[in-house]
A and B are shown apart, each in its own frame.
Chain A
Amino acid sequence: MNHTNTISGDSTDRVDGRDKVTGTAKYTAEIPLPNLVYGVLVGSTIAKGVIKKIDTSAAEKAAGVISVITHKNSTKLFGLKKSKTAKKLDLGLRVFHSKDIVFNGQPIALVVADRLEQAQYAASLVKCTYEQAPHTTDFGTHLDQARPSSSKWLSDTKRGDVTAWSNAPFKVDQAYTTPQEVHNPMEMHSTTAIWEGDEKLTVYDKNHAVQDIRDTLAKALKLEKEQVVVNSEFIGGGFGSGLRVWPHTFAAIIAAKMLKRPVKVSVTRPQMFTMTGYRPATAQKVSIGATKDGKIVGIKHEAIGQTSEYEEFAESVTGITKMLYACPNLETNYKVLPLTYSTPIWMRAPGEATGSFALETAMDELAYSLNMDPVQLRKKNYAETHPDDNKPWSSNHLTECLIKAARQFDWEARKPEPRSSSDRDWWVGTGMAVGSWGAWRAPATARAVLDSKGNLLIQSATSDMGPGTSTTMVKIASDASGIPMGKIRFELGKSNLPPSPGQGGSVTVASVGSAVYDICTEIKQKLLDIAVETLGETYKEAKIEDVFLINGKMGIKGKPASLVTFADLMEKKNITEVEATKTSSSGEEGGKYAFYSFGAHFAEVYVHKYTGAVRVTRFVSCVDAGRIMNNKTASSQISGAVVMGIGMALMEEQHMDHQHGRLVANDFAGYHIPVQADVPNIEVIFVDKADPYLNKMGAKGLGEIGLIGAAAAIGNAVFHATGKRVRNLPITPDKLI
């Protein structure tokens, strides 16, 4: 790729910062609409069985109630009518289309009323009786019932001699578990549906993949894509939970259709645990064999992931083991265990977050059994090429990550013996781990309009769930075009904008950023074409590389006399704006290289000697994500992911009452996420070297990499502090005393 590397990388404030700090940014549930009514969902109180009788009479009589919708009276949607179609179209739960109960808390009724309070109260009046069937919710005790995944994109690997690890002189052979985690973005999911006749549907829906959601809805409703508009401009976090259509969205669509008016359905915080996905629990076994000097000879990584009984969700838990270390002999194996519970969904660093916990904890255990420094052990096993197919890395600065983070952390000063350091009533320990995440690029299209005053509008149907996409795109556009940031506006979050991938898998900057970069060149080219056509001599020989834009003018480098205003140029053609649309995708380099981001995490913890409480007191992450487009938002993204890693390591865990197959404590009082007092200062360092092949900016993805390995680094630090190896997340005090 012709890598141009012109993005400055320095720190820029968020372009939507003002909207967010003044409260003027309108999130999904906040769009003012005339004639709007409120829907509140009622959940089932059993885990499995069928609805015998649902009594909505009291709810219907309550003040303000307009309608109560259940499977008995719901308008039927094409895609949900038959379970076969729903499966084929990947629509998930057939809400209000069946009397079957497949998980506890499954929506069984929607109460619609003039006001929110009326709907909330009336929802409490819906009574339902069931015929119950036995359920299975306990992951840990049913592991023997796991079955191979039917996923087409996941594969088990066998490389070389798969028994090699067991014959090695030094080995680790351990089991690890990670619990069900819940995304819990601060903004709860919400959908407002508006029908115009039966032909046109607009939804304001919290998601971060407006076009995927539109496509799914169009298929489910048997409408053309053009008949469905999905808007999601400001998103209060998502982390993956906004990547599919959930039951509340169908509920809003059904109600709006039946009542012929806009209906808003917002899920409650407890419902966020059952209705909008979660990270599945895993049970893993990692076996590593190594020579005396720390060279890995073989690895075996087996994993079981949780899924639901009505759908299969699979993720790449063992993926990281296939590529992170040079290792001639490898076996990986992944299975799924269906439980009577709702279906999981991608959650930040899906697969890798949990897989890396097992692998990187095992690596720490190996380092101790070898009596070798864990940083050294990673360096020793650095893979020069992708171990699966020997493809060269597009770029891999993992070693530099290790060196830089270790230096910043002062790793050298560490005494390796566990329980060798304390401070008053606290054991003090340090630990490290590394991670990687595939760097992908998907085709993306951008449209740009430049007016005669020099205002540039760029549009693409991408999303910004928090990383600062708008800001980064404006910055890329400014650096690529020469037009100041203040004159550029980036429009996103609407399905009728030019095509773009959903925000997931850390693809946004590499994909949409490329489209933005290219469209700026295209606009320049168009201006140049006009100049060549209308200005004669001066521009005749001009090359696009020599053309620059400044202060509403175009010019040729080294030729001050060539300067011409956009207004003059456009006037010559009798136009008021220049417009272009362009799709960008990766070239043939895509198949030649292995593309990954890398990171190294170093943590210090204090563990209280008598209570087992763990405090993370220091954290340093060094990340190789190619060239950094905007230091400010990029650092925030990494440190935010580390915060999620602290949650994963020390507190996040969804509890289930297996007798009733029901979640317990499904709110922020029962499910702990890190609060301000749990988080130390987090130091983020970037290698900041351009990837030569992924795109012209040299950027790789940032969204997931900060989380991968973070929990293992903390767990390894806890071991160093206390001498106790906790292999079952989260590392709560009871496991340490």
Chain B
Amino acid sequence: MAKKNKNPLHTSRRTFFKQSAVLAAVAVTPSTVLEAAENRTFDKAAYALEQVPITLSINGKVQKVMVEPRVTLLDLLREQLGLTGTKKGCDHGQCGACTIHIDGRRVNSCLTLAIMQEGREITTIEGLANGEELHPMQAAFIKHDGLQCGYCTPGQIMSAVACVNEGHTNNDFEIREFMSGNLCRCGAYPNIVNAIKEVAQ
């Protein structure tokens, strides 16, 4: 799903090298740093020690980021990269609000660690439209009013696009079954089915 990368190693490269330099420095003096961390005198240094560099493509853009191993892909997107289109509805893999595509497959980004995504192509809701032109699924959601508060919507749309690609749209029942991992408390379900049906045709 991800668009081809046009500009690999974009702007984050310099920050990355800066941070790598910090890492390299702490690598040769681990005991000092650990001590500093213990005393909380060099929080930042201690923090850098826990960071791991990863490279991943997000919406067609190769990004090098530093993450702690415990950071979920969802929190990396939302809190570190400012890609807040992907929503957090439970943080437990129970609601689908955080659905994104990894190498074209739909995944709950709250249930996967960022560090596991080295080299992968991530597509989020922000990367679905082609510039100003909405993806047909986005347009269909507006047309069929497949949303109310809009909070589950990015996850629904990412799931819906994958659902169509998977071929699970042969009838209403199948669509409902394969879209049941995406909760909508506003209850926009029937309209979501109508939107998916239109795009699937």
B126 to chain A, nearest CB (A): 5
A-binding segment of B3-11, B19-27, B68-76: B68-76
B-binding segment of A21-29, A396-404, A433-441: A21-29
For A32, list chain B residues within 8 Å (CB): 82
Q: Is the CB of B92 within 8 A of A675?
A: no
Q: Is the CB of B89 within 8 A of A269?
A: yes
In the assembled complex, B125 has its CB within 8 A of some CB on chain A = yes
Q: Is the CB of A187 within 8 A of B187?
A: no
In the assembled complex, B166 has its CB within 8 A of some CB on chain A = no
A633 to chain B, nearest CB (A): 7
Q: Is the CB of A64 within 8 A of B148?
A: no
Please report whether the interface of chain B is mostly helix, strand, loop or mixed according to DSSP.
Answer: loop
In the assembled complex, A413 has its CB within 8 A of some CB on chain B = no
- Chain A interface size band reads 35 or more
In the assembled complex, B43 has its CB within 8 A of some CB on chain A = yes
Q: Is the CB of B91 within 8 A of A185?
A: no
Q: Is the CB of A23 within 8 A of B125?
A: yes
Q: Is the CB of B150 within 8 A of A16?
A: yes
How long is the Cα–Cα vector from A44 to B2 in the complex, in angstroms? 45
Q: Is the CB of A14 within 8 A of B147?
A: yes
**Number of A-B pairs whose CB atoms are under 8 Å?**
187
In the assembled complex, B145 has its CB within 8 A of some CB on chain A = yes
In the assembled complex, B179 has its CB within 8 A of some CB on chain A = yes
Q: Which of B38, B78, B134, B189 contacts A18 (CB 8 A)?
A: B134
With A239-B185, A466-B148, A641-B187: A21-B94 Cβ-Cβ less than 8 Å? no
In the assembled complex, B149 has its CB within 8 A of some CB on chain A = yes
In the assembled complex, B54 has its CB within 8 A of some CB on chain A = no
For B142, list chain A residues within 8 Å (CB): 13-14, 17-18, 21
For B157, list chain A residues within 8 Å (CB): 21
With A640-B187, A643-B187: A632-B193 Cβ-Cβ less than 8 Å? no
With A24-B85, A466-B186, A667-B94: A63-B43 Cβ-Cβ less than 8 Å? yes
In the assembled complex, A677 has its CB within 8 A of some CB on chain B = yes
In the assembled complex, A184 has its CB within 8 A of some CB on chain B = yes
With A644-B187, A676-B176: A236-B82 Cβ-Cβ less than 8 Å? no
For B116, list chain A residues within 8 Å (CB): none
For B192, give the chain A residue with the smallest CB separation.
Answer: A676
For B88, list chain A residues within 8 Å (CB): 29, 188
A613 to chain B, nearest CB (A): 15
With A188-B89, A673-B185: A639-B190 Cβ-Cβ less than 8 Å? yes
Contact flags B113-132 to A (C-beta < 8 A → 1, else 0): 00000000000111011000
B91 to chain A, nearest CB (A): 7
Q: Is the CB of A22 within 8 A of B85?
A: yes
B144 to chain A, nearest CB (A): 9
In the assembled complex, B13 has its CB within 8 A of some CB on chain A = no
Give the residues from 79 to 101 in chain B that come closer than 8 angstroms, CB to CB, to chain A: 79, 82-92, 94-95, 97
Q: Is the CB of B125 within 8 A of A22?
A: yes
For A668, list chain B residues within 8 Å (CB): 90, 92, 94-95, 183
Q: Which of B47, B86, B182 contacts A23 (CB 8 A)?
A: B86
Q: Is the CB of A30 within 8 A of B84?
A: yes
B-binding segment of A115-123, A165-173, A210-218, A328-336: A115-123
Q: Which of A14, A18, A186 contacts B151 (CB 8 A)?
A: A186
With A21-B134, A22-B85, A668-B92: A642-B125 Cβ-Cβ less than 8 Å? no
Q: Is the CB of B183 within 8 A of A673?
A: yes
In the assembled complex, B152 has its CB within 8 A of some CB on chain A = yes
Q: Is the CB of B97 within 8 A of A186?
A: yes
Q: Which of B90, B149, B154 contacts A465 (CB 8 A)?
A: B149
In the assembled complex, B37 has its CB within 8 A of some CB on chain A = yes
Q: Which of A21, A114, A679 contacts B138 (CB 8 A)?
A: A21
Q: Is the CB of B92 within 8 A of A63?
A: no
Q: Is the CB of B189 within 8 A of A674?
A: yes
With A673-B185, A674-B189: A236-B145 Cβ-Cβ less than 8 Å? no
In the assembled complex, B180 has its CB within 8 A of some CB on chain A = yes
B85 to chain A, nearest CB (A): 2
Give the residues from 183 to 201 in chain B that come closer than 8 angstroms, CB to CB, to chain A: 183-193
In the assembled complex, B50 has its CB within 8 A of some CB on chain A = yes
B109 to chain A, nearest CB (A): 13
Give the residues from 145 to 177 in chain B that come closer than 8 angstroms, CB to CB, to chain A: 145, 147-154, 157, 172-173, 175-177
In the assembled complex, A637 has its CB within 8 A of some CB on chain B = yes
For B138, give the chain A residue with the smallest CB separation.
Answer: A21
In the assembled complex, A350 has its CB within 8 A of some CB on chain B = no
For A264, give the chain B residue with the smallest CB separation.
Answer: B79
6 new A-B contacts at CB < 8 Å, known A22-B134, A26-B84: A17-B147, A64-B43, A238-B149, A239-B185, A674-B189, A675-B180
Q: Which residues of B contact A (CB under 8 A)?
A: 37-38, 40, 43, 46-47, 50, 68, 70-71, 75, 78-79, 82-92, 94-95, 97, 124-126, 128-129, 134, 138-139, 141-143, 145, 147-154, 157, 172-173, 175-177, 179-193
Q: List 9 contacting pairs A-B, 8 Å CB cutoff, sorted by A.
A: A13-B145, A21-B147, A23-B83, A27-B84, A186-B149, A641-B187, A668-B94, A676-B193, A677-B180
